[in-house]
Amino acid sequence: PYTSYTANAGFHPTGIPNGVFVNQSNMSAGQILLAAQTRANGIFHDLIAKPDAKTSLKDMVDGGGQTILLGENVQSTLWTVTGTADSLNRFASTFVWLYSTDKPLGSGRPVPSIVMRPRFTINGDIDFLVKNPFAPTPVDVARLSSMHQGGANVVYADGHSQFLSQDIDYAVLQSLMTPDNGRSHMPSYSYQLSSGDYVE
C-alpha cells in the first residue's frame, strides 16, 4: 500500500559541518545518525538504530500545537517496509529537516556546509521531481510536498490540521518539526517562532 502522508522523522545529519555534535570528528556515520535521533529533533525515530526511543507530549516543550506530527509527501512510497535500517526505506515514509538555514545562526552553531536549495522546502522543485522520480537522492525528496498549489497539508501533535504555505522560511519549518527548539540541533535553534510565521 502506498500513502502520501508521512511521519516527521526530524533531523537527518547529512553533510553536516564538524562541531554540530561533541567529538564529532571521532564519530562514525552510524554514530552521527544515532546522535541526531533525539526527542528535541523530531517526533518519529529510527527504531532499528534506537529501539527504545519514545516521544510523549511532555517532550513537546514548544507545545503540541506548534509541532508537526504528519504531513504530505508526494514522493513517498510503501509505508509497510520494515526490518531494515536502509535509509531508502526511512525516506520512503518520512520527511526530515537538514542542517541548513535562512535565518541567523544560534550561538555556538557552526556554519552549515549545505547551501539552502529550493528542493529542501515545501513543494520545492515539485514539477521536476514528479516528472523524474528517480533523479534525486532520497534525502532530497524527504520533505513536505503535495499536488496542491501553494503548500501541503500537515497534522500537529495536538490533533489540529493546517494547509501549510510553501512560502514559509526553512527555519520556521524546522521549528515546527522540532518539539524543543532550544535543545535541538537546528542551526537557528534560538529563533523565536510566532504564529505569524506560518499562519496566514
HSE-CB at 2 with a 13 A cutoff on CA atoms is: 6
The answer to whether 93 touches 14, Cβ cutoff 8 Å, is: no
Q: Is 11 helix (H, G, I), strand (E, B) or coil?
A: strand
**Cell 535541538 maps to which residue?**
184
Q: Is 6 helix (H, G, I), strand (E, B) or coil?
A: strand
- Among 45, 16, 4, CA closest to 147: 4
**What is the b/e burial string over 115-148, where b = at least 16 CB atoms within 10 angstroms of the residue's CB?**
ebeebbbbbbbbeebeeeeeeeebbbbbbbbbee
Digit-by-digit pLDDT tens for the chain (200 residues) are 567 899 999 999 988 999 999 889 999 998 998 999 999 999 998 777 777 878 888 899 999 999 999 999 987 765 555 555 555 566 778 899 999 999 999 999 999 998 888 888 999 887 777 777 666 667 878 899 998 899 999 999 999 999 999 999 999 999 999 999 999 999 999 998 998 999 97
Give the separation between CA 175 and CA 29, rounded to whole angstroms. Answer: 25
Taking the complete model, does pTM exceed 0.85, yes or no? yes
Give the separation between CA 132 and CA 126, rounded to whole angstroms. Answer: 10
Distances from the Cα of 155 to the Cα of 68, 82, 102, 116, 164, angstroms: 6, 24, 24, 25, 10
C-alpha triplet 150, 162, 137: angle, nearest 5°? 60
List, as one string, the DSSP characters of 108-167: TPPPPSSPP-GGGSTTTTHHHHHH-TTSS-HHHH-S---SSTTEEEEEETTS-EEEEETT
